[in-house]
Amino acid sequence: MRIIILYSSFIKNLDLDRLGIHFFNSKGFETIILNVTKLVNKKYFLQASKHIDIKNEVFVNDYNHFNDEILKFYKDPCLIISFLHLNKNTYKFFEIISNNKMIYAQSLINVIPDSNFKKKSIFKKIINFKFKNTFFFINNIYYKFIKSKIVNIKSPNYFIASGKYSIKHPQAQLIDETSKLIWAHSFDYDQFLNVNRKLNKNTDGEYAVFYESPYPLFKNDIFIEGIENTLTTEKFYPSICSFFTYIEKKLNIKIIIAAHPQSRHLNNKVYGDRQIVNNKTAEITKFCKFVILRNSTAITFPVLWKKPMIFYTTNEISKSNFMTNNLSAFTKYFAKKAFNIDNNLDKLDLHKELIIDNSIYESYIQHFVKCKNFNDDSLWEIFLKEINEYK
């Protein structure tokens, strides 16, 4: 059987495990990636950096090309795994899959708190956005809930969920009574399991971890429609380094930088002489004292290992509704406030910030990581055991 992975971004090394590419190949499946980035977000496709070349990855040029690639496997056993969200830029792919009556699974396993988690009225959502983003929001509502019904988009045969919010998320509108719900867990829970099996000793001493975001230095994400960035290298890095220095002196602790997967720190010294660690966020989080972050899907790690979290903001971030809303979705969930590192640092109550609420952490796991008491199989092992074609 072939596995066709439908994806709309440049694949990073980390994604080879997250998307199941390594796993499916190891099980003898022919794994094909149909990358539709060029059609979903042309600006990102043209301007973002592509990191790696992958065997059997096809970059789709137009909708006819996509249809032709799908039809190559029409008569052969195959399963499409879609990582696309249904919106104005993607509905055509769902339409083509539906018209060709292809078997497909829809993944919604990496959800995080957002503005939809605690529902607001459409009126409030509109007034909280700039005109550009309001149009983007309304347009997507049309394609998700109206256009999809007009063109009769087929519900997925399988819907891969993690926490409870997976089936409350707006994208869950795709499923109906014919869709088989597969309860798995988030991408990062696999890493959590792997690290717990391997690492049982701390060799780094007393340290905290900073979860880096890609911008302002690395700009791939800002080419994605609907995303904006107001951070500048001239202001952000001196400010965050002053914040680190304050904490290091106050707590007699070092801060290690967990580099964002898109980051490429070669000879730059944006964090001074502090250690920068690539592709080992889970490993260094397990033994850290606490985590400093803004908003990140990697928040799963401090939650699972019960680490305190300090959320930060800046004057530049406060100028962006997009960045502020994303951050506030996290801070509201954890009943915390983001500390503005451009303010007087002595106003930071470290004692208060380093207290965790176990009930909130457990709630987060249930909502966003996993809500069923499965064994410790990997995400894709759970998936394969559940699909009929594999039995």
Kindly state whether residues 156 and 197 are assigned to the same domain: no
- Report pLDDT for 193: 93
Answer yes or no: is pLDDT of 310 > 70: yes
pTM: 0.87
Kindly state whether residues 216 and 148 are assigned to the same domain: no
Of residues 263 and 36, more confidently modeled: 36
Kindly state whether residues 151 and 166 are assigned to the same domain: yes
pLDDT tens digits, 244-272:
999 999 999 999 999 987 777 766 789 99
Mean pLDDT lowest for which of 102-106, 182-186, 249-253, 322-326?
322-326
The arithmetic mean of pLDDT across residues 183-193, rounded, is 93
| Mean of all residue pLDDT scores within the chain | 85
* Residue in 156, 146, 57, 40 with CA at minimum distance from that of residue 107: 156
| The pair of three-digit structure tokens given for residue 369, joined into one six-digit string | 């990581």
- Report pLDDT for 124: 47
Write out the E strands in the chain: 2-7, 30-35, 57-59, 78-82, 104-108, 158-161, 180-183, 207-211, 254-258, 276-277, 291-293, 309-313, 339-340
Write out the E strands in 23-163: 30-35, 57-59, 78-82, 104-108, 158-161
- Find out whether 312 and 290 touch, Cβ atoms under 8 Å: no
Answer yes or no: is pLDDT of 243 > 70: yes
**What is the domain range of residue 66?**
2-186+371-390
Answer yes or no: is pLDDT of 12 > 90: no
Kindly state whether residues 215 and 297 are assigned to the same domain: yes
Kindly state whether residues 219 and 168 are assigned to the same domain: no
Q: For the chain, what is the domain count?
A: 2
- CATH number (domain holding residue 376): 3.40.50
> Which residues make beta-bridge pairs with 311?
293
Kindly state whether residues 172 and 233 are assigned to the same domain: no
Kindly state whether residues 250 and 353 are assigned to the same domain: yes
Kindly state whether residues 207 and 167 are assigned to the same domain: no
| The pair of three-digit structure tokens given for residue 9, joined into one six-digit string | 């971004």
| The pair of three-digit structure tokens given for residue 310, joined into one six-digit string | 């300090």
Kindly state whether residues 158 and 206 are assigned to the same domain: no
- CATH number (domain holding residue 356): 3.40.50.2000
Of residues 138 and 54, more confidently modeled: 54
Kindly state whether residues 362 and 377 are assigned to the same domain: no
Secondary structure letter of residue 12 according to DSSP: P
The arithmetic mean of pLDDT across residues 336-348, rounded, is 94
Of residues 364 and 269, more confidently modeled: 364
Kindly state whether residues 280 and 348 are assigned to the same domain: yes
% of the chain surpassing 70 pLDDT: 84
- Report pLDDT for 123: 46
Kindly state whether residues 160 and 258 are assigned to the same domain: no
pLDDT tens digits, 77-111:
899 999 998 888 898 999 999 999 999 999 999 88
